Amino acid sequence: KNEVEQSPQNLTAQEGEFITINCSYSVGISALHWLQQHPGGGIVSLFMLSSGKKKHGRLIATINIQEKHSSLHITASHPRDSAVYICAVSNTGNQFYFGTGTSLTVIP
Amino acid sequence: DAGITQSPRHKVTETGTPVTLRCHQTENHRYMYWYRQDPGHGLRLIHYSYGVKDTDKGEVSDGYSVSRSKTEDFLLTLESATSSQTSVYFCASRDLNTDTQYFGPGTRLTVL
């Protein structure tokens, strides 16, 4: 049983398309995180959310605490957005739980 | 970005040998984590530390030990490496003010 589930596992889009990646979780959380992992392995944090919505450039992250669901949206997708996007949740127990990631490929 | 480095970046070793991976951070973060990443699995927690000499186990701690003698350094030791420990290992430190983790570049370990 995974505490964090992501969908889809793999996603291919044409450049310029609007992209949505979904994350559901089953545990109590203090915050939800979206991470990006590029080919070659480096992992960077994109967003930390405890409620509502955040926007950074073409990326938008939303969370619905009642439904235990979050979405990551990418507007006007670009080939450089190709990466694995990972959803993670943190709790007051100082631990993080990670989804298995969504592999996104944006084709020019 | 927090300055967090890992060494070595790549290592090939033989079954039964001890291996130590090092994580170094320059941000004075109290919390540090060791994860392994394997195909089909999300990042899985091996051990974490919440201060100097304060550590606790994660979900996949068997066969691993850790030490934290200084705030900036967190060591992961495989007592006797096995092929099942072939993986990519990531270290992270956590900024409690923003609840954000900063990841090292990863260490690719192959146990033959």
B46-87, pLDDT tens digit by residue?
999 999 999 999 989 999 999 999 999 999 999 999 999 999
What is the three-class DSSP state of A80?
A: helix
Q: Which residues of A touch B61 (CB under 8 A)?
A: none
Q: Report B:73-92 residues touching A (Cβ under 8 A).
A: 88, 90
Inter-chain touch A48–B31, beta carbons under 8 Å: no
Residue B18: strand pairing partners: none
Residue B54: strand pairing partners: B51
Q: Does A83 touch chain B (CB under 8 A)?
A: no
- The pLDDT, as a whole number, for residue B16 is 97
Residue A89: strand pairing partners: A32, A97
Q: How far is the C-alpha of A15 from the C-alpha of A76, rounded, in Å?
A: 7
Mean of the pLDDT values across residues B12-35? 96
Q: How far is CA B54 from CA A58, A99, B47, B69, B89, in A?
A: 40, 27, 11, 9, 21
Give the phi and the psi of residue A73 in degrees, each rounded to 5: -110, 140
- The pLDDT, as a whole number, for residue A18 is 97
Measure A88 CA to nearest chain B CA, in Å: 9
What is the sign of the dihedral through the CA atoms of A61, B28, B30 and A43? positive
> How far is residue A13 CA from its own chain's centroid?
16
* Res. B1: pLDDT tops 60: no
- The pLDDT, as a whole number, for residue B96 is 86
Contacts of B62 (CB under 8 A, 6+ apart): none
- Mean pLDDT for each consecutive 10-residue tract of chain A (108 residues)? 90 97 93 92 90 95 96 97 95 84 96
One-letter identity of residue B76: L
- The pLDDT, as a whole number, for residue B56 is 93
Inter-chain touch B99–A48, beta carbons under 8 Å: yes
Q: Count of alpha carbons within 13 Å of B80, Cβ hemisphere only?
A: 1
**Preceding amide of A108 cis, omega within 30:** no
Count of residues in chain A: 108
Interface A:B, Cβ pairs < 8 A: 50
pLDDT confidence bin for B102, thresholds 50/70/90: very high
- The pLDDT, as a whole number, for residue A1 is 60
